[in-house]
Amino acid sequence: MSEPVDASMDTTDIENVVVQIWQSLLGLDGIGPDDNFFLLGGRSLTAMRVVTQVRDQIGVPVKLADIFRAPELRSFAELLGKRIAEHEQVVPRDSK
């Protein structure tokens, strides 16, 4: 089960997590915000692993189709940010 979504994450924080995931799975360094997952050598099986790691590390609901809709790192991170906001509206965090 994934960790709760961290609503305090901004796009830069999300980009940093996604960079780490992409670099690890693609075996590349120096991935930037305008890089395209598929042009970097990503394939559908690797995209499935990205989705799994995003769910595990960020806890945001994400679909495989999302990486096809937003293959650039920045656009993918922005999409994840929107999902976090949507998730927070549907499932409010405990106020402790």
The residue extents of the domains of the chain are 11-88
Q: Which amino acid, 58?
A: I
Write down the residue that tokens 């930037």 correspond to.
32
Q: What is the DSSP string of 48-81?
A: HHHHHHHHHHH-----HHHHHH--BHHHHHHHHH
- Those residues whose C-beta lies under 8 Å from the C-beta of residue 89, and which sit 6 or more positions away, are none
pTM reported for the whole predicted model:
0.81
- Classify domain 11-88 at the CATH topology level: 1.10.1200
Q: How many CB atoms lie within 10 A of CB 41?
A: 11
Quick check: 7 and 74 in contact, CB under 8 A? no
Q: How far apart are CA 77 and CA 18, in angstroms?
A: 7
- Those residues whose C-beta lies under 8 Å from the C-beta of residue 34, and which sit 6 or more positions away, are 72, 73, 74
Report pLDDT digits (tens) over 2-60: 444 454 555 688 999 999 999 999 999 999 999 999 999 999 999 999 999 999 999 88
Report pLDDT digits (tens) over 74-95: 999 999 999 888 876 654 445 4
